[in-house]
Every structure is written in structure tokens, then in C-alpha cells.
Amino acid sequence: MNTKPRLNIGAVRSSFAPWADPSAKPLVRFDQVTKRFGGETAVDAVSLDIYEGEFFALLGPSGCGKSTLMRMLAGFETPDLGRITLGGEDLAGRPPHLRPVNMMFQSYALFPHLTVAQNIAFGLRQQKKPKDEIAARVDEMLALVRLEGLAHRKPHQLSGGQKQRVALARAIAPKPRMLLLDEPLGALDRKLREETQFELMALQQRLGMTFLIVTHDQEEAMITADRIAVMRAGQLAQIGRPAEVYEAPNSRYVADFIGDVNLFEARVTEDDGDIIRLTSPEAPDGLEAIEDDEIAIGSTAWLAVRPEKMRVHLDPPPPGPNRLEGVVADIGYLGDWTTYLVELPGGRTIRAARANASRVVDRPVDWDDRVWLTFAPDSAVVLTR
């Protein structure tokens, strides 16, 4: 599970990596936590550390157990096995109202009978704060989420984006040790969601609060989080920085779940330390990848190549490894990117994506063109499961 960054990959906030420091104490520790609903195991022996100040994302398809994991931390579900600790303290048996974490709900769950200001003040009133202190904190929160003029509105008078901000402000106001965000942007439209992703990240940086976000949207997780835990059927598939899970996935599942990927089933023929050579019926000239983990010669492995790392040639490049030949079956023009679906002689379709870096090209790739695809050995990842 521990992916050491062998290569310099992606964008990295390198100064912040408490998880790499063996002496650092995690803020939250899930220790072999299991939760079953009836016969179904929703969360299966998950162990996970989240550190102070971290923006951590639980990413996975619906039903993978990510929400259940978060709800166990908030106290809405009780683990069947295992322990959850917060700041070293075991949370077992502690009801939700005594846990110093606040949650922003997917449905927002704003109190419809209270105004925006009263919603934000709800947790503060519960903490029995003096009146003027509550008023000051509410004003501060309204300014933080830029809703100053709407303090006296009722939730039903707000737009979706405004409701989302109130829900966020309400959860932050009591200064929790940790903020839990359950699909916080799921109900927003695409444009607003993209804006809010960056705002959420900036907000977390400014407050220095620990954020745990649950999402099925890989883009949301990639943009906001310091680390991502990819979940599959109640288990952790991989934990790492966004660039690590994207560029160095540890399994076909992760490679396929995060972004698009072309997978070649191949047989390992040679391993000379850095470079691994493989053969596949789909690549007549052989395959090559840089990989410093040892892989047994003769075993089956999968070579994963992201579409944007495929180069498309209209003229045949010199023969050599990592060279595929095919016919353009489909072209998806997205404006910023163009995706080519190239059909190999065996019938398989490979994705290649190209950034439209200039407005005009001399020779555009057309439907039914014969093209060659190549990729560099360090653009491919060898996966054994």
C-alpha cells in the first residue's frame, strides 16, 4: 500500500507530508474497523491514519463503504470490530453530540425553520457561548462564505450554491477538530462545482483545519485533497497523493477508476533492474516500462498507459518497443483535448488523447486514418494485480 515516489510526478505540496514522518501522531486513526449491515460487509478491516491539517479524501464508487467509514467517525454508525481514535482518545460509545467533529451533509440538512444566521449559530448556541461571541462568530462565518447580505433569509429562499455555503459555515462555526464533508458538491452544477473545489481547498489552507471529504468524483478528490484513499468494496485499494494514485496506481482497479487508462495484458520476458520488457499479442514490437520493483520473469502483468501519454503519428515511426499500429475508429473533440479511439488489428480499441495546443494543424488526424501510437517507457506502469 505504501507507494514511495520513485519518480518526480505531478504537483506536490512537498513541505507538507506528516504521514511520511514516523514520529508524527495521527489526529484520527481507524484501526481494523469493520462494519456489517445484515450480511453485507460495508467496511472491511480498514486501517487508516489522518493527520492534523490534512485534506484527506475517501474516493470510490457508490456502495464502496466510504460514507459508512465517515459516519462511523461522526458517531452515526457503530463499528462492529476495530477502534476509531481521535487525538489518541477512543471514540467507542461516544454519541455524536459529544464528538468534536462536525459534518457537512450531502443533503445540507439545513434547519428549514431557522434563518441562515440561526443555522450557523446552532452549534455555537449548543456550546453555551455568550451572545455577543456567537454574533461575532456568525458574522465571521458569513464573511468567510461570502453570504453577508443573506443572514436573515430562510433556507428555502436560497439557491443550491448558497445552501451549500450555509451548510459549510454551520459545520465550521463551532471550530471542530475535524470537518467531515459528505459529497459536499454533489448537488451543484459543473461550473459551480469546479469553482467551489478550489474555494474549498483555499478555505482549508486558511483555517488550517483537518478536512475529510467523501466523494465519488475523482476530479473533486484530485483537486482538493493532500491524500486520497481509493476504496473498493469496503477495503482500501490505495492511499497516496493525487499524483501518486494517478501516475503510480498499484492495481488495475485504481488505474481504471482514476482517469482513463489503456491496459495491455502481457508476459514479462526480461527485467534488467530498471527496465522491464514484456510481450503481448497486441504489441508486435514488444513493450517496455521503467519499474524498479522486481517482477518474476514469465509471470503475467498488465501494462497501464494513460491516453494523454500516447503519441499519435500519421507517419510510421522507426520500429521499436511500445509501438502500436491501428486505424482511427472515432474522434472525440472536446475543445481543449481531442480523444482518438484507435482500433488495433486484434480488434481492441486504444484511447489516445492530445491537447489542442494550437488552433490549426497541418495534417489533422481523420477518421479511418492509419496511425501509429507510441509511448515512452517511463509513461507506462506495470501492474501485477
Partner 1 sequence: MSVTGAPRPRRPWRRLGRPRGSSSWEARAALLPYLWLGLFFFVPFLLVAKLSLSDVVLAIPPYAPRLDWSAGLPGLIAFVRALDFEAYARMGQDGLYLAAYLSSLKFAAVATAILLLVGYPLAYGMARCGPSVRQALLMAVILPFWTSFLIRVYAWIAILKPAGLLNMALAQIGLPPVDILNTDTAVYIGLVYAYLPFMVLPLYAVLERQEAGLLEAAADLGCTPFQSFWRVTFPLSLPGVAAGALLCFIPMVGEFVIPDLLGGSGTLMLGKTIWTEFFSNRDWPAASAVAIVLLATLVIPILLFQRQQTKMMEQR
**Mutual angle of helices 160-172 and 116-126, in 10-degree steps:** 20
Among 3, 45, 53, 122, binds partner 1 (CB under 8 A): 122
Nearest to 307 by CA among 257, 350, 357, 364: 350
Site string for partner 1, 141-160 (x = CB under 8 A): ---------------x----
Considering beta carbons, is residue 97 or 363 the nearer one to partner 1?
A: 97
Tell whether residue 187 is a contact of partner 1 (CB under 8 A).
Answer: no
Sign of CA dihedral 68, 40, 30, 54: negative
Strand partners, 339: 332, 353
Find the shortest distance in angstroms from Cβ 254 to partner 1: 31
Residue 64 grid cell? 464502496
Centre a 10 Å sphere on the Cβ of residue 125 and count the other Cβ atoms it contains.
Answer: 12
Site string for partner 1, 82-101 (x = CB under 8 A): -------------xxx---x
Among 3, 17, 63, 76, binds partner 1 (CB under 8 A): 76
Q: Which residues make Cβ contacts (< 8 Å) with residue 115, sequence separation at least 6?
A: 151, 152, 153, 154
Using CB under 8 A, which residues numbered 157 to 186 contact partner 1? 170-171, 174
Find the shortest distance in angstroms from Cβ 73 to partner 1: 11
Looking at 1-9, 108-116, 202-210, 283-291, which segment touches partner 1 (CB under 8 A)? 108-116
Among 102, 196, 250, 374, binds partner 1 (CB under 8 A): 102
Q: Is residue 68 within a helix (H) or strand (E), and if so which, with residue range?
A: helix 66-74
**Mutual angle of helices 131-144 and 160-172, in 10-degree steps:** 140
Considering beta carbons, is residue 99 or 306 the nearer one to partner 1?
A: 99
Among 75, 234, 242, 326, binds partner 1 (CB under 8 A): 75
Q: Which residues make Cβ contacts (< 8 Å) with residue 19, sequence separation at least 6?
A: 49, 51, 54, 227
Q: For residues 36 and 45, what is the distance between their CA atoms, to the nearest angstrom?
A: 11
Q: For residues 278 and 385, what is the distance between their CA atoms, to the nearest angstrom?
A: 16
Site string for partner 1, 224-263 (x = CB under 8 A): ----------------------------------------
Tell whether residue 385 is a contact of partner 1 (CB under 8 A).
Answer: no
Q: For residues 127 and 32, what is the distance between their CA atoms, to the nearest angstrom?
A: 33
Among 105, 129, 162, 339, binds partner 1 (CB under 8 A): 105
Among 14, 32, 47, 126, binds partner 1 (CB under 8 A): 126
Q: By the criterion CB under 8 A, which residues form the site for partner 1?
A: 74-76, 95-97, 101-103, 105, 107, 109-113, 122-123, 126-127, 156, 170-171, 174
